[in-house]
Amino acid sequence: MKNTVSLLSAKDMRRSILAGFINAGSVVCGILSFFYIVSMLDLLFQRQPFSAIISQCAMVAILLMTKSILYGFGMAITHKVAYSALADIRSRLIVHMECLSLSDIEKRKTGEFAHIVDHEVEQVELFLAHALPELLVAVIIPVAIIIFMYNVFWQFALIYFLQISLLIIYMMWYMKNYSPKFDEYAKCTGRMGADLMEYIAGIRVIKVFNTGKGKTLQVLERMRDYISWAKQVIRIIIFPKSMHNLIIALGVFFTAVVGTQQLIRGTIDLKTCIMGLIFAGFLGESLSNLLLYTFNVMKFNASRKAIISVLSIPAATREIALTSGTPGDIEFSSVSFAYTDVPIVDNVSFDIRYNTTTALVGMSGSGKTTIGKMITGFLFPDTGTVTINGISTRVLSEQAIAQMVSYVQQEAFLFNMSIYENILLGNPAASEQEVFEAAKKAQIHTFIQSLPEGYNTLAGESGACLSGGEKQRIALARMILKDAPIIVLDEATASIDPQNEQLIKQAIEAVSAGKTRIVITHRLDTVREADAIIVVDSGRILDQGSHRELMTRCEHYRQMVNARHAAEQWTIMEARS
């Protein structure tokens, strides 16, 4: 299906067309001024009096002034259009991304979206403000020169026309064959930008876990890939530039040969011959600019494709809402899911009933988190169905799922705003007292009160001003304030110290009554009292039941429990030694 997404609004499009006409007027004034300059020189050669030349001087002055004024107006309009388009495209991207399903967002890196919103949109602004006006001028000048010279000496116009035709054929061949390389170069730039953003954002983790060498090598590999493509693009530019200059030189050469020959024969006068040579040089400069801005067109086209790749993702149109007050029953029926053809979940079926605690356990990479993300609507199954209260998550609106499900993951994310505002995200309509009560239940109220600014303390970028346990308890306060009937805890205490872990457990137990709780963990000692434990391995469910039942009949679960127990004993023995 043909893509109908447009980058420019109708208003900006009209302004762009107006700027094009103004720039055209500026170009025509510039060309006419050369005609009067040549006429003035011809009169001087004829030793005409100053009174015969002054009118020519006046026309040159008027035309040059008009050219400058029109050029100024044209550039003002194009810059206004460019900055308007920049703001409009970024707004459209952000608004559209808000309408996308979480499943669509999960398919791309965060850095990729950021690169498109920042770098690619900036390329559109540069093209509209600088390249497009000059490109229009570079197109208008040859046409105007040919029309003008056709009325003066048609042989010169024919040489110009043949020169331009040859150049256009060459450029069309060039763009057809080399545009894909510019697209790949743009993609390579995007991948490098996304990896750099991820590297910078995770620099603390990289340093703490001493994984800098591996990540740095990965980023450097992306840079080498970028440099390789940049070199190819430079080679792509150099060769056509040489061919382009050859065509322009041939045009000037034939103009000089034909002009000299006709001047000797007396067919044309000196003024026409000089005018033809001046316009041949002027035409050559314009055609050089045309080639230069052709590269800008290819860069713009690559950026346009990147932007449209986001804007063309269908917005989520799920509008079915859940009836308020309904319980939180969840059902997986023959669910399978794969990341880029790599199966992660394979034919999984199970039920989770309202007001129960269900644990998903398994080794790292077994598919536990993917199952949790399908409950929250972050991902949709490739086959099978996931339902909440009997309604598929594919048709439930995001608002409905958000109202029903709270999700707390291992790495809590806080925005760079006050702690109070971060908690209030759980329920923007909540009162100040309700925020305080949620913080008390999350065992974080006393700590917040001890801060110099209290609840007005800034959390820092991604909660950088707080410890992991403090961030997790603030995230729990946000979840408590939301008061959703389904709670998904994805390794919520995996990287927390024992003191914070105990506080978080108390907070979770305080708000779990009357709710459906799904606990995703590899710490089996924390889920022994769960109503049901689902054992996941390589994307499949091996068994499900209570801890006692699984210890009796599930060898894989028993091995996991024994391995966990052995690890704890080893830690204690090591500490004693």
pTM of the full structure = 0.58
According to CATH, the superfamily of the domain at 10-312 is ABC transporter type 1, transmembrane domain (1.20.1560.10)
Question: What is the spatial order of strands in the sheet that 357-361 belongs to?
Answer: 405-409, 486-490, 516-521, 357-361, 532-537, 540-545
Pairing of strands 391-392, 383-388: antiparallel
Report d(CA 336, CA 204) in Å as an integer.
35
- Count other C-beta atoms under 10 Å from residue 149's C-beta: 25
Report d(CA 194, CA 204) in Å as an integer.
17
Per-residue pLDDT at 65: 92
Q: What is the 3 state secondary structure string of 334-350?
A: EEEEEECCEEEEEEEEE
Per-residue pLDDT at 313: 77
Report d(CA 33, CA 60) in Å as an integer.
5
Kindly state the DSSP code that residue 461 receives in the 8-state scheme.
G
Per-residue pLDDT at 332: 92
Mean pLDDT by 10 residues, the chain (577 residues): 60 78 81 78 76 83 90 85 82 79 67 77 80 76 81 86 82 71 66 62 48 57 66 64 77 86 83 80 76 75 82 68 63 86 85 88 84 85 88 81 80 81 86 88 85 84 72 84 85 60 68 80 76 88 88 85 66 45
The ranges assigned to domains in the chain are 10-312, 330-568
Q: What is the 3 state secondary structure string of 537-560?
A: ECCEEEEEECHHHHHHHCHHHHHH
Pairing of strands 330-339, 383-388: antiparallel
**Rounded alpha-carbon distances, angstroms, from residue 361 to 351, 355, 407, 526, 537:** 15, 19, 17, 11, 9
Let me know: does 247 contact 170? Beta carbons within 8 Å.
yes
Per-residue pLDDT at 565: 66
Rounded to 5 degrees, what are φ and ψ at 350?
-170, 165
Per-residue pLDDT at 211: 45
Q: In 3D, which of 269, 283, 263 has the Cα closest to residue 158?
A: 283
Per-residue pLDDT at 328: 74
Alpha carbons within 13 A on the beta-carbon side of 153: 23
Q: In 3D, which of 282, 42, 305 has the Cα closest to residue 185?
A: 305
Beta strands in 104-258 (DSSP E): none
- Give residues with Cβ within 8 angstroms of 137, minimum separation 6: 23, 26, 27, 286, 289
Q: What is the DSSP string of 69-128?
A: HHHHHHHHHHHHHHHHHHHHHHHHHHHHHHHS-HHHHHTS-HHHHHHIIIIIHHHHHHII
Fold designation for 330-568: Rossmann fold (3.40.50)
